[in-house]
A = this chain, B = another copy of it.
Amino acid sequence: MGENKDILKKNGLKSTKSRKLILEVLEKSKEPMSAQKIFNNVRHQGELDFSTVYRTLSTLTDKSIIIKNIEDNGKAYYQINNHNHSHYLICSECKKRILIDACPLEEMAKNLEKITGFHISGHKLEFIGECPECLKKDKL
């Protein structure tokens, strides 16, 4: 629990209420969260301003303590950066996410570097589909 203090210090950030609260909330959540949802969760215990939430998310993202992703609805979702490379299978109905642990792309990336002369720093991969539960519901 004191861990977050250390993470912040290590990144040259002051240890403030908002940062600790938001990191706590994100750690508890299995899903990436929108700024709005984070705000709602944080609101109960201690009242943060919306702009503070955004500013905090922004600095935490800059330091790569958390990861920001923009989804198809155009909104940003935030999650703890656990530093292990991961991809998801996402249900188009209920938005459930399943972690895919295999990643076949490192090899492909190396190949592409050779062919194109790019220096490749990362990739994004998502599979979209319908999960078994939603498939069942659709049949009703």
| Residues of A6-37 whose CB lies within 8 A of B | none
> How does the 8 Å CB contact mask read for A115-131 relative to B, with 1 for contact and 0 for none?
01111111111111111
> Could you say which of B76, B108, B128 contacts A74, with CB atoms under 8 Å apart?
B76
Chain B's nearest CB lies how many Å from the CB of A37? 17
Alpha-carbon distance A113/B89, docked complex (angstroms) = 10
Knowing A74-B76, A76-B74 touch, does A126 contact B127 (C-beta < 8 A)?
Answer: no
Chain B residues near A108 (CB-CB < 8 A): 102, 104
The answer to whether A125 and B123 touch across the interface, beta carbons within 8 angstroms, is yes
| Number of residues from A at the complex interface, CB < 8 A | 36
The answer to whether A129 and B125 touch across the interface, beta carbons within 8 angstroms, is no
> How does the 8 Å CB contact mask read for A97-140 relative to B, with 1 for contact and 0 for none?
01010101100110011001111111111111111100100000
The answer to whether A112 and B100 touch across the interface, beta carbons within 8 angstroms, is yes
Q: Tell me if A82 is interfacial: C-beta within 8 Å of chain B.
A: no
Known: A89-B118, A102-B108, A116-B131. 9 other contacts (CB 8 A): A70-B72, A105-B125, A109-B127, A118-B129, A118-B131, A119-B135, A121-B128, A123-B127, A123-B128
